[in-house]
Amino acid sequence: MKRNPRRAVMSLAAIVFGLAATLTHAQDQLPSWNDGPAKQAILEFVKATTQGGSQFVPPEARIATFDQDGTLWVEHPMYTQVMYCLERVPDLVKARPELKDKPPFNTVLELLHGDRAAMEKLNMKDLELIAAATLTGMPVDQFNGEVKKWISAAKDARWKRPYTQLTYQPMQELLRYLRANGYKTYIVTGGGQDFVRVYAEQTYGIPPEQVVGTAGGTKYGYGKGGKPFLTKDPQMLLNDNNAGKPEGIHLMIGQRPVAAFGNSTGDQQMLEYTKAGEGTRLAMIVLHDDAEREYAYGPAERLPVTKVGTFTQALFDEAKKNGWTIVSMKDDWKRIFPFENQ
Amino acid sequence: MKRNPRRAVMSLAAIVFGLAATLTHAQDQLPSWNDGPAKQAILEFVKATTQGGSQFVPPEARIATFDQDGTLWVEHPMYTQVMYCLERVPDLVKARPELKDKPPFNTVLELLHGDRAAMEKLNMKDLELIAAATLTGMPVDQFNGEVKKWISAAKDARWKRPYTQLTYQPMQELLRYLRANGYKTYIVTGGGQDFVRVYAEQTYGIPPEQVVGTAGGTKYGYGKGGKPFLTKDPQMLLNDNNAGKPEGIHLMIGQRPVAAFGNSTGDQQMLEYTKAGEGTRLAMIVLHDDAEREYAYGPAERLPVTKVGTFTQALFDEAKKNGWTIVSMKDDWKRIFPFENQ
């Protein structure tokens, strides 16, 4: 028999990796999760779907989708992307002076230098106008550069830290744990796909192609010397909220997730769609019930209702009825942020 | 110093994999390519972008995009998906008898049992009607099942083999070679995204989420017992041809490819866009100039022009001007199909 040196090497590698997997498994990969039903559900789900048996899911079908705002990082009191749009207004009116005295841009300019909290009062139509003007109409590369610059400098008002530091440590551990078990992790956000793609790799280890979000079209054209480039178009292609989440998942991923994670009514259909697949599925919903360490808002009976991340009583009831796992930030999370002392 | 057993294991694994890579590199991974400028361009590109040096591309940016029809498999005399739509018509009129006597469905029924070659004469409007009726209006899962069944049974008229066997062996080797060097390989096709996703994994090793194509929307709804499902909608979201290819790449991948492969005017903008990025880029275009082993069609000066895979003289001139590598099937490919004797 002829010896195949490549096969011999691969077998050795398999042994080495098997050993590495065993060593890693022995450690607790979710140290920021308290022991309890939520952590247990995660461990059982991963065991059932990756270690053989009737519920085994082949690696190519291991898709896990995560909402971003309120699920992976803080969304309160205002979505980070809305802050971006508002804080872009001064540069916008510099480039387009005709907007300076026009509502809602004049109002935003005033509030940025005064009562910032009053910006919550801007209505949906105002926000849409501001979003269109700050998120579209420029080359893709220019937009990416502007977001990159802003996100590295802007700070949250409460923690005085960059927004990208306000991710939830338990969810970061969960992302890594799923990836270590062969899951492809996706962000499926109601936020702007192009916006989130700028920082998702560095912030969550999720590459641009695994970020699904609300997306507009682009227009291909030629610049100086015939160099081709894409311009961001205001036309909306995908409103990645509510029913738009499973629709966006089909468009961008083409497979039904095996696990999904959300925190609001905008995630309901993604969680339903995931849970309705065959075999073991994991649907989890984060309940913001920790006013001290983060914020408390949610089902009206128990917590204050806010404008962002609507977690209604109906959603809470559906979660219980459909066997979604409810994650209590207060009870299930030992530590909220990566920067906290361990 | 404390010993870290996990790091020790990983270092050992790194050595083992380094050894495997060296052994593999010593073999020719592109055995179906003749030595020549095309093969040389591929080898130099991969070396420059993956082995350090000024042109090194980090693994997360290694994106390679491939057109399908005429680039990865046979497109002549009719796109496989068009054959699918036509051959679905008998089942369609069974389900919707009111279409039986209506043009163009009555014409298709006639031609399927007679002069199949005459189907080339159907005009674009006829084909659009047939496509809408056979590709949309049904649940996603039903569509996937229908395509799966058809693709496993249907045969090409010339080779009497399933279409999925009519892939080009040199391109299969190229896909594997790029993946072995850390590239994510994507299909970016003018064909239907949902259609190609059904067989891409088995045929090319490309998972559904790495297939970008012409895509319609879906509608989320509830079936029996409240089970959610998606229905294919006729509304077009992305026409993934010409300028639609870079636009689709931005939407679905969010990064500019480092390498792109095509064979027709529909790929021109994807190739331009890829080549316009910074650093070393590879843009290749397959020329069908082998009437004996496959087909010959292309730039009018040299080859017959056909309705599919238009390779105009203008495209040929642009390829030469912009430094795209032209792959001659006749000269560069030792073997065309996987089923040929080696």
Q: For B194-222, b where at least 16 C-beta lie within 10 A, e where not — what string? A: bbbbbbbeebbebbbbbbbbbbbbbebee
Whether chain A has a CB inside 8 Å of the CB on B324: the answer is no
- Which of A313, A280, A274 has its CA nearest to residue A41? A280
Query: What pLDDT was estimated at residue B102?
Result: 95
Which region, left, alpha or beta, applies to residue A25 given φ > 0 means left and ψ of -120 to 50 means alpha? Answer: alpha
Question: Per the structure block, which two tokens stand in for A22?
Answer: 């065993």
Cβ–Cβ below 8 Å for A247 and B19: no
Query: What pLDDT was estimated at residue B341?
Result: 75
Whether chain B has a CB inside 8 Å of the CB on A230: the answer is yes
| Half-sphere exposure in the Cβ direction for B100 (13 Å, CA) | 7
Give A115→chain B minimum CA distance, Å: 37
pLDDT digits (tens, 9 = 90+) for B90-128: 999 999 999 999 999 999 999 998 887 778 778 889 999
- The band of B2, judged by pLDDT with boundaries at 50, 70 and 90, is very low
Strands A325-328, A282-289: pairing is: parallel
The residues near B2 (Cβ < 8 Å, ≥ 6 apart) are: none
Strands A228-238, A211-222: pairing is: antiparallel
Question: Per the structure block, which two tokens stand in for B325?
Answer: 């590598």
DSSP one-letter code for B77: S
Query: Cα separation of A27 and A180, whole Å?
Result: 13
Whether chain A has a CB inside 8 Å of the CB on B303: the answer is no
Dihedral sign for Cα atoms in the order B167, B173, B179, B183: negative
Closest residue in chain A to residue B268, using alpha carbons only: A228
* Contact criterion met (CB below 8 Å) for A308 and A78: yes
Strand partners, B57: none
Cβ–Cβ below 8 Å for B252 and A209: yes
Whether chain A has a CB inside 8 Å of the CB on B276: the answer is yes
Query: What pLDDT was estimated at residue A49?
Result: 98
- Give the C-alpha distances (Å, rounded to integers) separating B239 from B86, B215, B266, B297: 21, 7, 11, 25
* Predicted confidence (pLDDT) at residue A206 exceeds the cutoff of 90: yes
- The band of B1, judged by pLDDT with boundaries at 50, 70 and 90, is very low
Cβ–Cβ below 8 Å for B243 and A253: no
Query: What pLDDT was estimated at residue A25?
Result: 53
ipTM computed for the complex: 0.90
Q: For residue A209, give the nearest of B140, B230, B254 by CB distance.
A: B254
Dihedral sign for Cα atoms in the order B190, B194, B199, B203: positive
The CA angle B305-B310-A218, to the nearest 5 degrees, is: 165
Q: What is the mean pLDDT of residues A214-241?
A: 95
Query: Cα separation of A271 and A260, whole Å?
Result: 6
Residue B329: what residue type? M
